[in-house]
C-alpha cells in the first residue's frame, strides 16, 4: 500500500504537460517518492539528534539534502519554528500551509518608533608625532594598551589561573621597536658582507677595526647578535664562518661605546656552541677546530670577568629590543 497519494504525482505530471500516465507508472513513482522522502527524513533526524534537539527544523532538511547531493530547496529558513495550518480541498485531500502571523494595525500604529541611527561623521587626529603618541582622548593611553595586551596574551587574563601560577603581580615590559636609518642599514649590510669575504683579508680587517672603534653603532647591536646566532646555527661545518662570528663578538666586546650587557644571555649560546660543540668543521680535518675552541674559551673568560658579578642574564637589562626586518625598519 502506498502512503503517497498517486493523485499528487498525476497532478504534477499534468502541470509539466504529461497528461497520460498509467496506474502502474503512478504507483511506481509514488513508491519512489516515498523512498526518497524517507531517506531525506532519516538524514535530517540524524542532524537533529546530534544537535541534542527534539524538534526537526528546516535547516536539518537542508543539511540532509546537501549530504545526499540533492539540489537544495529555497523557501523556508527561519530561526523560530514554523506553524503549519491544514485546509481541506475535498475528501481525503488535506493541504498544509504556513500560517502568517496576524498583526493588529492599531498596535502597529501606536507602537513607539525605533531610535534614529546616529549620523556618520569623520574626524582627523594625530596618531603619533615624531614617534610619540600625543595624549588626546582619541588615542588609547599606555595603561589601556598594556592592560589589553595582558588580557589577551598572558596568564593574568584569568585571575584564577594567575593566582594559581603565581603570576598575578607580573610586570610585562612592552617591546621596543627599532627605527634604523638608511645609513645604518647600509653599514650593517657592508660589514656583514666584509666579514664573510674569504678572498679579501684587508676588507675583513677594516670591518673589525670599524666595529672596535666606531661609537655610533649601539642601534645595530641586536642585529649583530641575531646575525651571529643565525650564522653559527646554520654553519656548524664551516670553520671560517664560525671563526669570523667569534671575531665579530670579540670586536663588539672591545668597543667601549656599545652597551652589550642586555644581550649577554643571547651572545653566550653561540660562543658555547663553538666551545663545546661535538662536531665542528670538516670531519676530514680532526685538529682544525681547536683554534676556534680556544677563541671561544677566551670570549667566555672576557664575559665572565665583565658581567659575571651581575648574575644570570647580565642583570636587569635583559629586556633589549627585538630586531626587526632591516628591509622596512626605517619606515614609520
92 vs 18: which has the higher pLDDT: 18
Instruction: Give the residue extent of every domain in the chain.
Output: 6-98, 140-174, 182-314
Domain 6-98 -> CATH class: mainly alpha
Model confidence at 70, in pLDDT bands (50, 70, 90)?
A: confident
Q: What is the pLDDT of residue 42?
A: 93
* 3-state SS record for the chain: CCCCCHHHHHHHHHHCCCCCCCHHHHHHHHHHHHHHHHHHHHHHHHHHHHCCCCCCCHHHHHHHHHHCCCCCCCCCCCCCCCCEEEEECCCCCEEEEECCCCCCHHHHHHCCCCCCCCCCCCCCCCCCECCECCCCCCCCCHHHHHHHHHHHHCHHHCHHHHHHHCCCCCCCCCCCCCCCCHHHHHHHHHHHHHHCCCCCHHHHHHHHHHHHHCCCCHHHHHHHHHHHHHHHHHCCCCHHHHHHHHHHHHHHHHCCCCCCHHHHHHHHHHHHHHHHCCCCCCCCCCCCCHHHHHHHHHHHHHHHHHHHHHCHHHCCCCCCCCCCCCCCCCCC
Q: What is the pLDDT of residue 176?
A: 53
Average pLDDT, the chain: 77
Top mean-pLDDT range of 60-74, 110-124, 247-261, 277-291 = 247-261
pTM of the model: 0.43
Model confidence at 178, in pLDDT bands (50, 70, 90)?
A: low
Average confidence (pLDDT) over 22-46: 88
Of the candidate CATH numbers 1.25.40.770, 3.40.30.10, 1.20.1730.10, 2.30.30.140, the domain formed by 182-314 belongs to 1.25.40.770
- Which pLDDT tens digit goes with each residue over 242-292? 989 999 999 988 888 888 888 888 889 999 988 888 888 777 877 888 888
Residue 45 has pLDDT above 90, yes or no: yes
Residue 131 has pLDDT above 80, yes or no: no
118 vs 153: which has the higher pLDDT: 118
Average confidence (pLDDT) over 158-173: 50
Amino acid at each position: 500500500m502506498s502512503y503517497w497519494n498517486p493523485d499528487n504525482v498525476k497532478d504534477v505530471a499534468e502541470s509539466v504537460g504529461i497528461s497520460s500516465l498509467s496506474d502502474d507508472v503512478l504507483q511506481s513513482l509514488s513508491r519512489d517518492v516515498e523512498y526518497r522522502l524517507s531517506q531525506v527524513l532519516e538524514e535530517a533526524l540524524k542532524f537533529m539528534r546530534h544537535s541534542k534537539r527534539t524538534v526537526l527544523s528546516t535547516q536539518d532538511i537542508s543539511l540532509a539534502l546537501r549530504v545526499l547531493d540533492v539540489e537544495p530547496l529555497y523557501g523556508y529558513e527561519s530561526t523560530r519554528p514554523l506553524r503549519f495550518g491544514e485546509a481541506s480541498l475535498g475528501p481525503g485531500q488535506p493541504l498544509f500551509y504556513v500560517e502568517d502571523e496576524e498583526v493588529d494595525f492599531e498596535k502597529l500604529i501606536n507602537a513607539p518608533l525605533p531610535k534614529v541611527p546616529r549620523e556618520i561623521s569623520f574626524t582627523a587626529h594625530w596618531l603619533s608625532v615624531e614617534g610619540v603618541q600625543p595624549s588626546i582622548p582619541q588615542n588609547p593611553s599606555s595603561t589601556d594598551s598594556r592592560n589589553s595586551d595582558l588580557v589577551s596574551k598572558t596568564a593574568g587574563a584569568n585571575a584564577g589561573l594567575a593566582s594559581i601560577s603565581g603570576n598575578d603581580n607580573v610586570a610585562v615590559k612592552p617591546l621596543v621597536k627599532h627605527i634604523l636609518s638608511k645609513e645604518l642599514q647600509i653599514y650593517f649590510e657592508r660589514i656583514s658582507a666584509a666579514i664573510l669575504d674569504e678572498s679579501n683579508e684587508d676588507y675583513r680587517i677594516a670591518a673589525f677595526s670599524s666595529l672596535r672603534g666606531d661609537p655610533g653603532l649601539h642601534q645595530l647591536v641586536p642585529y649583530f647578535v641575531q646575525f651571529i646566532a643565525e650564522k653559527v646555527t646554520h654553519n656548524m661545518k664551516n670553520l671560517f664562518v664560525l671563526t669570523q662570528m667569534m671575531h665579530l663578538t670579540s670586536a663588539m666586546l672591545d668597543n667601549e661605546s656599545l652597551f652589550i650587557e642586555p644581550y649577554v644571555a643571547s651572545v653566550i649560546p653561540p660562543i658555547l656552541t663553538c666551545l663545546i660543540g661535538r662536531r665542528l668543521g670538516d670531519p676530514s680535518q680532526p685538529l682544525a677546530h681547536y683554534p676556534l675552541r680556544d677563541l671561544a674559551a677566551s670570549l667566555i673568560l672576557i664575559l665572565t670577568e665583565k658581567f659575571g658579578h651581575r648574575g644570570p642574564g647580565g642583570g636587569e637589562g635583559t629586556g633589549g629590543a627585538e630586531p626587526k626586518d632591516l628591509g622596512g625598519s626605517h619606515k614609520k
